[in-house]
Amino acid sequence: MPFAVRPIGPADLSACLDLAAARGWPRDSRKWSVVLDAGRGFGVDAPDGGLAATVVLTKTGPLASISMMLVASRFERQGLGRRLMADALAESGEAVVALHSTEAGRPLYESMGFIVDGGCQGHVGFLADDGGPASRPIAPPDLARVYELDAEGMGFDRRALLERLLFDAEHVHVTEAGYALGTESEGRIVIGPVIAADEEQARALVRGIAHAAGGEVRVDVDLRHPGLGEWCRDSGLVPQDPAPRLVLGGKPLPGDPARRFAVYNRALG
């Protein structure tokens, strides 16, 4: 089919949600709203209405994230995904480009030069109280330290994006050398990012937000921290399918991976 790529943004939210639902994705308006606002979206209109395909590039400092790669089932195998990826990558400039993928999407990305570099695994459920130390809610004097901790973990100052994430979050917790957000999505609180000096503080952040939320939570634990994943499972959370992380050209990600225990979500890392 002949197709033309056009910019998509917040005004296309409803069409994006319809496409996501048609492909079995949740109608997660909050996640879509954040990425469409913070990133640059690319889409292809379907001739019979709605969107045939989407992708979003979110560029923050030296890092760019690819997300929301979707092609309507009736338009598969027509090159839409590859075309959208090419357009998004053309806008990434010199940034290190990373994404989280399903196993089904991995061959396309690898064919375009992406190389697997770890990943994350979701853990979902009700966290049991093991009596360990817990984080506390943020207070105004903590805000500057949160920006510092985030920059230490990510390797650059992403204050503009972080301010948006902090504003959206239902819970913001801190420890002596760590912070985490808890943001509602699909009826549960997603705990992430979790950035901390060590695993003990990462656990305290998960405990604190889970206890404050008082309901079902999700933590997408970075696979570089198997100890935290094991603790989540021992504490009653059910592991989900892992999502490989791929980086264009295998370039090293900025920042300190030892401090990044869980991602905000798979769209933004």
CA distance to 65, 150, 231, 258, 262, per residue, from 226 (Å) = 24, 21, 9, 12, 11
The residue behind tokens 């079902």 is 216
Task: State the DSSP code for 39.
Answer: S
Burial of residue 94, with CB atoms counted within 10 A of its CB: 0-12 exposed, 13-18 middle, 19 or more buried = exposed
Q: Model's pTM, two decimal places?
A: 0.93
Instruction: Please give the DSSP secondary-structure letter assigned to residue 75.
Output: G
The pLDDT of residue 96 is 97
Q: Are 17 and 29 a contacting pair, CB within 8 Å?
A: yes
- What one-character-per-residue DSSP string does 136-192 give? EE--GGGHHHHHHHHHHHHSS--HHHHHHHHHH-SEEEEETTEEEEEEEETTEEEEE
Q: Measuring CA to CA, which residue among 238, 240, 243 is closest to residue 223?
A: 243
Domains along the sequence of the chain with CATH: 5-94 (3.40.630.30), 122-242+257-262 (3.40.630.90)
CB count in 10 Å sphere of residue 133: 11
Residues in the chain: 269
Give the pLDDT of residue 2. 64
Would you write out the chain's pLDDT as a tens digit for each of its 269 residues?
A: 567 999 999 999 999 999 999 999 999 998 999 999 999 999 999 998 999 999 999 999 999 999 999 999 999 989 999 999 999 999 999 999 999 998 888 999 999 999 999 999 999 999 999 999 999 999 999 999 999 999 999 999 999 999 999 999 999 999 999 999 999 988 999 999 999 999 999 999 999 999 999 999 999 999 999 999 999 999 999 999 999 999 999 999 999 999 999 999 888 88
At 1 the pLDDT is 52
Instruction: Specify the pLDDT at position 21.
Output: 96
By CB atoms closer than 10 A (0-12, 13-18, 19+), residue 216 is middle
